[in-house]
Chain A
Amino acid sequence: DGGITQSPKYLFRKEGQNVTLSCEQNLNHDAMYWYRQDPGQGLRLIYYSQIVNDFQKGDIAEGYSVSREKKESFPLTVTSAQKNPTAFYLCASGGGQGLQNEQFFGPGTRLTVL
């Protein structure tokens, strides 16, 4: 089955710890994205990558880091510098920057900082 997987589904972290969220896709998409969603809010873009070994900051990149060493994988690290990390994190992939730029989402990771 083609799709996007994220793990873990739920993650609990103590303050001061870094955590890494996994995102894998087998849709052969070039572009991958990370968003966070807070209750009652729209999705906000954290980082995106249009091609392997390249990524760009989105609107709220502070306190986060990413890598894109393989086309299929785009892990997100939430560092201790992120002041309010509790949120629903969504990974997406898509065909890129043309007009056919629909994005498809993984099931998300709920991160709670204790």
Chain B
Amino acid sequence: RKEVEQDPGPFNVPEGATVAFNCTYSNSASQSFFWYRQDCRKEPKLLMSVYSSGNEDGRFTAQLNRASQYISLLIRDSKLSDSATYLCVVNRGVNYGGSQGNLIFGKGTKLSVKP
């Protein structure tokens, strides 16, 4: 199983649609979870952290299922400006020989919102 696995997409959706991305991670000892957004040829930017209880930030909702080692991101009322690649990110966790705080980045899911 890959450390962090995402569907690469692309997800092509119309403006106003609701879209959901999923991500699975392999290390049950991981404790920190994030979603980053990366625009074409730009650096990744932190979108939101993911908490055990789930959390919401405007149109974005993140969920964590530790038992299934599964993270999701829901985007409601999609805007053209949401078009980007969304990276699922987890920390390595205590089982890793190096630093448990180091992050592992998924390859990303590409979203394209059309008018």
Closest residue of chain A to B6, judged by CB? Answer: A42
Complex Cα distance, B100 from A70, in Å, reads 24
Residues of A within 8 A of B101 (CB): 31, 94, 96-98, 101
Contact B107 A99 (CB under 8 A): no
Residues of B within 8 A of A56 (CB): 98-99
* Distance in Å: Cβ of A88 to nearest Cβ of chain B: 8
B57 interfacial contact with A, CB 8 Å: no
Residues of A within 8 A of B45 (CB): 105
**B25-46 with Cβ < 8 A to chain A:** 31-32, 34, 41-46
Complex Cα distance, B32 from A41, in Å, reads 22
* Distance in Å: Cβ of B32 to nearest Cβ of chain A: 5
Question: Of A42, A50, A96, which one neighbours B107 at CB under 8 angstroms?
Answer: A42
Query: How many A residues face the partner with a CB closer than 8 A?
Result: 27
A106 with B102: in contact, given A99-B32, A101-B91 (CB under 8 Å)?
no
Contact A102 B44 (CB under 8 A): no
Complex Cα distance, B49 from A41, in Å, reads 22
**A66-114 with Cβ < 8 A to chain B:** 88, 90, 94, 96-99, 101-108
Closest residue of chain B to A43, judged by CB? Answer: B105
**B14-63 with Cβ < 8 A to chain A:** 31-32, 34, 41-46, 49
Contact A97 B99 (CB under 8 A): yes
Partner-B contacts on A (CB < 8 A):
31, 33, 35, 40-43, 45, 48, 50, 56, 58, 88, 90, 94, 96-99, 101-108
Which 5 residue pairs are nearest across A and B when measured between Cβ atoms? A97-B101, A105-B43, A43-B105, A42-B107, A101-B101
Interface CB pairs A-B, < 8 A, 6: A42-B106, A88-B41, A90-B43, A90-B44, A98-B101, A108-B42
17 more A-B contacts (CB under 8 A) besides A50-B99, A56-B98, A104-B46?
A40-B8, A41-B107, A42-B4, A42-B104, A42-B106, A42-B107, A43-B44, A43-B87, A56-B99, A94-B101, A97-B100, A101-B91, A101-B101, A105-B43, A105-B44, A107-B42, A107-B43
